[in-house]
Amino acid sequence: MTLLATIVIAGAITFGLRLSFILLWGRVAVPIWFQRALRYVPPAVLTAIIVPELATWQDRLDLSPANPQLAAGLAAALVAWRTRSIPLTLAVGMAVLLGLRLVTG
């Protein structure tokens, strides 16, 4: 698969996912169990991406305080919880990471 073909297919899939229910609403009966399970897709998938990402420091898993991404991630989570603001979460998380890296060298 060429890179262009990959991008086009990935784009078509993304568009299809976004269009899915908008197009099918009222035309197709969706089973209740499926609708229920769908509700937990975002917290499950996104957290499964976030946690290993935060825990990976200098190309290996590091759950010690020497990994500044853990503190930065926690600070960002706190800001996200309190403010629900995406820009503020990004700013605080990045500031804590850069600050800790300065302190620890």
Partner 1 sequence: MPSPGRKQQFFAGLRAEAPILLGVAPFGLIFGALALNAGMPAALVQATSSIIFAGSAQFITAQLFGAGASGLVIVMVVFVVNLRHVLYSASIAPYVKHLGLAWKVALAYLLTDEAYAVVITYYQRTRSDPAGPGSPDRRHWYFLGAGLALWVSWQLSTLAGLLIGARLPESWPTGFFLPLTFIALVVPALRDRPSVVAAAVAGLIGLAGAGLPFKTGLLLAALIGIVAGTTAERRDQRAAARRVA
Instruction: Give contact residues for partner 1 (rule: CB under 8 A).
Output: 1-11, 13-15, 17-26, 30, 33, 35-56, 61, 69, 72-73, 76-77, 80-81, 84-87, 89-91, 93-94, 97-98, 101
Query: Can you read off the two tokens belonging to residue 99?
Result: 């600050």
**In angstroms, what is the minimal distance from the CB of 74 to partner 1?**
9
Closest approach of partner 1 to the CB of residue 5, in Å: 7
CB of 86 to partner 1, least distance (A): 4
CA distances from 51 to 45, 61, 79, 87, 102 (A): 11, 10, 17, 20, 23
The secondary structure of 1-30 as a DSSP string is: --HHHHHHHHHHHHHHHHHHHHHHTTTSPP
